[in-house]
Amino acid sequence: MAPSKHLFLSFLFLLWGVSVSVQLNHTTLSVSFTLTSLSLSVNTTLKNMVRESLIAAAPPSPYNYKLAFKYSMALIVELPIGTPPQVQPMVLDTGSQLSWIQCHDKAPKRPPPTASFDPSLSSTFSTLPCNHPLCKPRIPDFTLPTSCDQNRLCHYSYFYADGTYAEGNLVREKFTFSPSLFTPPLILGCATQSTDPRGILGINRGRLSFASQSKITKFSYCVPARDARPGSAPSGSFYLGNNPNSKTFRYVQMLTFANSQRMPNLDPLAYTVPLQGIRIGGKKLNIPPRVFRPDAGGSGQTMVDSGSEFTYLVGAAYDKVREEVVRSVGPRMKRDYVYGGVADMCFDGNSAVEIGRLIGDMVFEFENGVEIVVPEERSLARVDGGVHCLGIASSDKLGAASNIIGNFHQQNLWVEFDLANRRLGFAAADCSRLAK
């Protein structure tokens, strides 16, 4: 799987123009999943004190539930969907909106995916007809507009930049965590054709995301450290609602944008953070803070995306990172080697430990002293054939104009998305241990 596969899910499908009214069942729900932490510091200015007082008054989330997930290049959570529930593997993706699952009928034309959803077995499953407002959006919500199929049902198509796709019908179905704990019927994609055997849990800030439709006010996850053994998938934690570890979190305010700001390179539904600088091996790189903020056309936005494997930086930032890496270990780089078409700072596997030591820790700096620290032993990602690459690539090679902090740089870190208060929280943690 290419390292940028799920990143494309993050950007390409911005469902801006759809208004959906959802009634939430009054049952209280709690959900959690396992991940990792880091230490951060916050400057207690008067402004922050006022902000914290407002946050304290925010309404609680109607859900409080914990689940585990598996982590390889993506965060794979298994969710119970339908009545009675059928467990479905889904990629946890904070960079995309519409959730979709694999579907098949009782008599499929070809063998269905190994873990696909059978609508005929669920009493709460329903389809969206062609006359539903979502099938006639004022602004197209998909890469191809929705359409009517031969049964007069609402058909959707998602085509991703790396050549993958999913298409099927839009439906309503609930997530059933227990007989007394479930969501209302949510609008989902029911894919009958796709190039990925798993579904997607779209959980960005859009109106059709899982978080918005379920009225979740916060969620968090802890990504475990990768296991060096090929094929291994350590477990992390995912919480819907309050996280008992939140007292250790340090927060940064999200940058938010009105839907009317239709800048060509801006994703207004992403979790945009105020990145201010990068340090490598204790050295602060000479990158102006404006490089990490959207300009007049939206270029330079910095987002936290669980659906992207690597971290991507715009040219002005990437060039400085590469310059420092070349200064430290340039002669060791594999010449003319580019992994997945995007990562070109790669090394032979037998020198990975030494290369990490020479490069040193990497630190992403935010406002108020908040930091994400990537220790030297996790600076390189094992890729094809035992080769190891720095987990940072150029946005230019991706054809994007944004900075994206991917899940590789979220290992052993709690990341909380506090939607009610428009902030993100971080804390270092041993995510594999917490998942047990």
- Catalytically annotated residues: 93, 305
Segment holding 189, helix H or strand E: strand 186-194
Assigned token pair, 53:
């007082």
Calculated CA dihedral for residues 110, 115, 119, 123, nearest 10 degrees: 160
Q: Would the CA dihedral through 59, 203, 184, 240 be positive or negative?
A: negative
Q: How far apart are CA 73 and CA 118, in angstroms?
A: 27
Residues 6+ apart with CB under 8 A from 143: 12, 13, 157, 158, 159
Query: CA angle, 65 as apex, 254 and 69 as ends, to 5°?
Result: 80
Give the 3-state secondary structure percentages of the chain, helix then strand then coil, rounded to 5: 20, 35, 45
Q: What is the DSSP letter of 1?
A: -
**Whole-Å CA distances, 19 to 15, 61, 137, 205, 260:** 10, 22, 9, 13, 15
Q: Is 190 helix (H, G, I), strand (E, B) or coil?
A: strand
Q: Please compute, for residue 378, the number of CA atoms within 13 A of its CA located in the half-sphere on the CB side.
A: 19
For 282: left if phi > 0, alpha if psi spans -120 to 50, otherwise beta; the answer is left
Q: How far apart are CA 85 and CA 30, in angstroms?
A: 17
Residue among 235, 247, 281, 244 at smallest CA distance from 430: 235
Quickly list DSSP for 332-374: GSPTT--BTTTB--EE-GGGHHHHHHHH--EEEEEGGG-EEEE
Residues 6+ apart with CB under 8 A from 305: 7, 10, 93, 94, 95, 270, 271, 404, 405, 406, 407
Residues 6+ apart with CB under 8 A from 210: 99, 186, 201, 202, 203, 216
